[in-house]
């Protein structure tokens, strides 16, 4: 089991980092203007020594007076690699801002910098940052969604399935704000790992939080995924349905890269429809 668990973790790193780009080394945020949105890069969401505590922000420029939904994008990379700078996450950030969302694309500490559960603590800190700035960003704090792929899907699910009482907030900033999100979409989602490695504690994995008391979840799984086995995702979905959770499941032909290439014509509209169902006015 130990060997198998380590192989899974290693496979996630390899599968998710091939498309990774280097993170921007700019010392101050860079602002770009699109036709209908503005994009600000490398905003610090937590002060401190780590260069990983950065996020990119995209938002509509024609605000008006109405509060807007927000979307938190979490990159994959096997928890040991990957970056918010990967094209697919940058493109998603811009596309959803053009649809009227305030979007943040989050960097977090990888396992080479800090052990588990630092990555969970960091994405929670980023959500707290978003809520702390909700008024100036015209964000409705009750309409915050999140999307992640692979390791990012695990972190997105943890945002939706854990609360402040679960001991995963870390020692970061904005602790007076909630890190909870209101809806979650997760592609190729690792819901559990082997039980005999340090990073496999049930409290760090969605499988440890089977309950009906969660926000709406949408899981997308490839039928031929060699990294996140389809039967594990199906088992998780079935367990959630058995307790009455609000969960949707889409299985498509393909491997671990369903969020990047093989099934975008199917998965992209499904994700957009899911978020619109719960977050748009």
Which pLDDT belongs to residue 197? Answer: 60
Model confidence at 7: pLDDT above 60: no
Number of H helices, E strands in the chain: 7, 9
Model confidence at 74: pLDDT above 80: yes
24 lies in some domain:
no
22 lies in some domain:
no
Q: Where are the alpha helices (DSSP H) in the chain?
A: 2-17, 87-98, 118-132, 134-137, 151-161, 230-242, 264-279
Please write the tens of the pLDDT for every residue from 152-176.
999 999 999 999 999 999 999 999 9
- Cα–Cα distance list, 56 to 25, 37, 108, 225, 234 (Å): 13, 13, 12, 30, 33
- Local confidence band at 36 (pLDDT 50, 70, 90 cut-offs): confident
19 lies in some domain:
no
What is the mean predicted confidence (pLDDT) over 61-82? 92
Which pLDDT belongs to residue 193? Answer: 78
Higher pLDDT, 31 or 95: 95
Which pLDDT belongs to residue 5? Answer: 36
Please write the tens of the pLDDT for every residue from 168-224.
999 999 999 999 999 999 999 999 975 556 677 889 999 999 999 999 999 999 998
CA distance linking residue 168 with residue 25, whole number of Å: 29
CATH number reported for the structural domain that contains residue 269 in this entry: 3.40.50.1820
Please write the tens of the pLDDT for every residue from 79-125.
999 999 999 999 999 999 999 999 999 999 999 999 999 999 999 99
Model confidence at 42: pLDDT above 80: yes
18 lies in some domain:
no
As a whole number, the mean pLDDT across the chain is 87
CA distance linking residue 91 with residue 85, whole number of Å: 10
Compute the C-alpha angle 52/53/54, nearest 5°.
Answer: 95
- For the chain, the domain total comes to 1
Residue 44 structural domain: 2-13+30-279
- Cα–Cα distance list, 18 to 14, 98, 215 (Å): 7, 28, 32
- Local confidence band at 10 (pLDDT 50, 70, 90 cut-offs): very low
Which pLDDT belongs to residue 271? Answer: 96
20 lies in some domain:
no
Widest Cα–Cα separation across the chain: 55
CA distance linking residue 187 with residue 244, whole number of Å: 21
The percent of residues in the chain predicted with pLDDT above 90, rounded, is 73
CA distance linking residue 82 with residue 14, whole number of Å: 10
Burial bucket for residue 23 (CB in 10 Å: 0-12, 13-18, 19+): middle
Burial bucket for residue 98 (CB in 10 Å: 0-12, 13-18, 19+): middle
What residues have CB less than 8 Å from 150, skipping those under 6 apart? Answer: 12, 15, 16, 76, 77, 78, 187, 188, 189, 190, 227, 228, 256, 259
Which pLDDT belongs to residue 141? Answer: 98
- Local confidence band at 260 (pLDDT 50, 70, 90 cut-offs): low
192 lies in some domain:
yes
**From the centroid of its chain, how far is CA 60?**
21
CA distance linking residue 89 with residue 87, whole number of Å: 5
Which pLDDT belongs to residue 257? Answer: 75
163 lies in some domain:
yes
Which pLDDT belongs to residue 62? Answer: 82
Across 61-70, 154-163, 259-268, which has the greatest mean pLDDT?
154-163
Tokens 């979650």 locate to 184
23 lies in some domain:
no
Q: Is 258:222 a contact under the CB 8 Å cutoff?
A: yes
């Amino acid at each position: 089991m130990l060997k198998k668990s380590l192989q899974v973790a290693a496979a996630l790193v390899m599968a998710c980092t091939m498309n990774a780009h280097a993170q921007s080394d700019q010392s101050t945020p860079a602002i770009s203007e699109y036709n209908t949105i503005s994009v600000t890069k490398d905003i610090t969401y937590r002060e401190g020594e780590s260069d990983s505590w950065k996020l990119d922000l995209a938002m509509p420029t024609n605000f008006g007076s109405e509060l807007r939904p927000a979307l938190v994008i979490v990159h994959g990379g096997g928890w040991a690699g990957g970056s918010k700078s990967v094209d697919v996450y940058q493109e998603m950030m811009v596309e959803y801002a053009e649809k009227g969302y305030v979007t943040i694309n989050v960097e977090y500490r990888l396992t080479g910098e800090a052990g588990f559960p630092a990555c969970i603590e960091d994405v929670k800190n980023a959500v707290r940052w978003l809520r702390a700035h909700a008024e100036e960003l015209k964000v409705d704090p009750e309409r915050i969604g999140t999307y992640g792929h692979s390791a990012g899907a695990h972190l997105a699910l943890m945002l939706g399935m854990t609360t402040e009482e679960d001991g995963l907030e870390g020692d970061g900033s904005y602790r007076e704000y909630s890190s909870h999100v209101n809806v979650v979409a997760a592609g190729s989602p690792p819901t559990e790992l082997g039980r005999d490695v340090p990073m496999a504690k049930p409290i760090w994995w969605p499988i440890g939080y089977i309950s009906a008391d969660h926000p709406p979840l949408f899981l997308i799984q490839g039928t031929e995924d060699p990294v996140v086995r389809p039967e594990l995702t199906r088992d998780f979905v079935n367990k959630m349905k058995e307790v009455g959770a609000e969960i949707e499941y889409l299985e498509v032909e393909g491997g671990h890269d369903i969020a990047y290439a093989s099934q975008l014509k199917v998965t992209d509209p499904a994700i957009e429809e899911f978020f619109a169902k719960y977050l748009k006015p």
